[in-house]
Amino acid sequence: MTQLEMARQGQISDLVRQAAAAENIEPEILRQKIAAGTAVICRNNKHTNGRPLAVGEGLRTKTNANLGTSQDDTSIDKELEKAKVAAAAGADALMDLSTGGPIDEIRAAIIAETDLCIGSVPLYQAACDAVITQGKPIVDMTVEDIFAGVKKHLEDGVDFITVHCGVTRETVSRMDREGRLLEVVSRGGSFTVGWMDYNNAENPLYEFYDRLLELVRPYDAVLSLGDGFRPGCLADATDRAQIQELIILGELTQRAQDAGIQVMIEGPGHMALNQIEANIKLQKRLCHGAPFYVLGPLVTDIAPGYDHITSAIGGTVAAAAGADFLCYVTPSEHLRLPTVQDVHEGVMAVRIAAHAADIVKGIPGAIDQDNAMAVYRKKLDWEGQYSVSIDPEKAKHWRDESGVDESHGACTMCGSLCAYKVMDGREKKKAV
């Protein structure tokens, strides 16, 4: 049986016990969430070195780091270094989005590098195999090519796969009738739209959805229903194409869960701040509480080089409103393949967003680290402050390089005029 089927029959699997322990909750609570479809366990049966990751309602907000080569940069070594850096920085999951070089080898190497949850977009592989290996255009992919790509990733142990099943001919027509500034910015979505137009056919992952479910079932991987019509700019957010796709994903969620397959939903995208909460609530309603995995949202379009910040702002609002899984955005989004340092900055930004949201959600223990920081700051205990910092090395480096005069124990901002020292003197006087 799958994890969903076991949970619905009242059985607590070993994976559920492990994931519950990591969440500091009772296994029975997690089982109930999985049974209801409001949480999932990401762990492919083939991913023998992977630890199970629980994502969903009432759980700590999880974070993902995207990795992967491009046709302009095919270095396996660089991607493995990024994987190590992302893991060390505290990412919960890695997505391999490679589209250049020996893709199979890269994916296998990333899976072997850490015990983190692994995601992928199999359609990228199918497209690359068509173009590079078979020498034919993407639009000449066959249905068998597409499903072979899915099979390959599942067999390699990928824990969750993004599939753009809601990109249909009807949804495309709605987009065309309304109009968009950026049309389709999802790479997988654009491949699918191009394929449908050229072949005058329906999206195979939608038309043959039952076949997809049967393919996933033996691996017990999670279907991450992708948002092919996610808005690529503020002007396109919450339009008919985006909402129509979400309606379809809600229907596909029920079909998958009826077949014993776990599902999460992917979401926007670029979106004005005042639309984010409504989008989260709409997704939760239409998809019956299935976990929501969001990219950003990016709350402005004009900050290339700083999109880890625009993403963290939107991600905090989204997660506080109920999003369960945040995909990082690096400073190099829209500009280049991220460097190792970009990956580190992106993970830190998204972890800050997730943590800030968990405090709002009331996740048990979320605020404890903040309270500890307050105590250490009051005491001017710098080692203590580093120990509870989200990025201890950076905090220590910045203080050390400031040339602080340690005789007063404060920092170079206030020195001997430090407010903590003033208040400490007041407390000592009161004690006397």
> Annotated binding residue at 200?
no
Identity of the amino acid at 123 = L
> Annotated binding residue at 49?
no
> Annotated binding residue at 233?
no
> Annotated binding residue at 411?
yes
Residues 6+ apart with CB under 8 A from 40: 3, 34, 54, 55, 56, 222, 262, 263, 264, 291
Ramachandran bin of 306, using left for φ above 0, alpha for ψ from -120 to 50, beta for the remaining angles: alpha
> Annotated binding residue at 95?
yes
> Annotated binding residue at 227?
yes
At how many degrees (to 10) do helices 143-156 and 103-113 cross?
Answer: 30
> Annotated binding residue at 287?
no
- Residues 39, 291: contact at Cβ < 8 Å? yes
> Annotated binding residue at 240?
no
> Annotated binding residue at 187?
yes
How far apart, in whole angstroms, are the C-alpha atoms of residue 86 and residue 353?
A: 16
> Annotated binding residue at 403?
no
> Annotated binding residue at 188?
yes
Pick out the residues of the known binding site for [4Fe-4S] cluster: 411, 414, 418
Pick out the residues of the known binding site for Zn(2+): 270, 334
Pick out the residues of the known binding site for substrate: 66, 95, 124, 164, 186-188, 227-230, 266, 293
Pick out the residues of the known binding site: 66, 95, 124, 164, 186-188, 227-230, 266, 270, 293, 334, 411, 414, 418
